[in-house]
Amino acid sequence: MSNIYHVPLLLLEQRAHSIIQQQLKLDLPFAEPRIGPWRAMAGRVDGAKVSVQIALVGKYNGLSDSYLSVLKALKHSCIAAGRKLVVDWIDAEALEPATEIKEKKVFDDSWKVLRECHGILVPGGFGDRGVEGKILAVQYAREHKRPFLGVCLGMQCAVIEHARNVVGLAGANSAEFKPDCKH
């Protein structure tokens, strides 16, 4: 199969729906499944030639299932837009100044990927590890007018970034990460 969305079409050709209907003794109000929109979607996936690169700035990048719902949402957005999704995984900590000191190449490579993407997505997460890197990614998106989506913690990072760099509340943070923060 050229893509997974052709599997139901193959099952339809093999009459699997009729077998299931007979075995379960289902009385359906239609003779054949209405599969036109599904067939069109499978065709759009095959026809997508233009790629869109989305930088996913997270901290569970080694466990891509952690972001499975986000990845599926991106994939289906690309199907609707007729684009081919390319996800560039960026470890949020790799964008932080401490990484520049310890692992300059990792830092430089991560920032290069961020600069070359078409859009930036900062997903949810827990704890303060990588938060400053996420905030830096948000700042880059804002300053360079890159499309940005913050989900859960990602939106929280966007609020912190805005408070610090637009509103001028130096040291703004979340009490979740820094209980004694002034802003």
Under 8 Å between Cβ of 157 and 134:
yes
Under 8 Å between Cβ of 39 and 12:
no
Domain final residue, candidates 16, 31, 47 = 47
Q: Cβ contacts of residue 94 below 8 Å, gap of 6+?
A: 103, 106, 107, 109, 110, 133
What integer pLDDT is reported at residue 111 of this predicted model? 98
Q: Same domain for 17 and 95? A: no
pLDDT at 42 over 80: yes
Q: Same domain for 13 and 84? A: no
Q: Same domain for 42 and 74? A: no
At 161, which amino acid appears?
E
Angle at 144 between CA 90 and CA 70, to 5 degrees: 40
pLDDT at 112 over 90: yes
The three state secondary structure string of 58-89 is ECCCCCHHHHHHHHHHHHHHHHHHCCEEEEEE
Q: How many whole angstroms separate alpha carbon 141 and alpha carbon 143?
A: 6
pLDDT at 31 over 80: no
Full-model pTM: 0.88
Q: How many whole angstroms separate alpha carbon 124 and alpha carbon 151?
A: 5
- pLDDT band for position 60 (cuts 50, 70, 90): confident
At 10, which amino acid appears?
L
Q: Same domain for 27 and 71? A: no
Q: Same domain for 95 and 171? A: yes
Number of domains composing the chain = 2
Q: Flag the least confident range among 30-34, 95-99, 124-128, 176-180.
A: 30-34
Catalytic residue among 117, 152, 157, 181: 152
What integer pLDDT is reported at residue 27 of this predicted model? 87
Q: Same domain for 64 and 80? A: yes
Domain that holds residue 75: 49-183
Q: Is 152 a catalytic residue?
A: yes
- pLDDT band for position 175 (cuts 50, 70, 90): very high
Q: Same domain for 92 and 34? A: no
Q: Dihedral, CA atoms, 41, 45, 51, 55, nearest 10 degrees?
A: 80
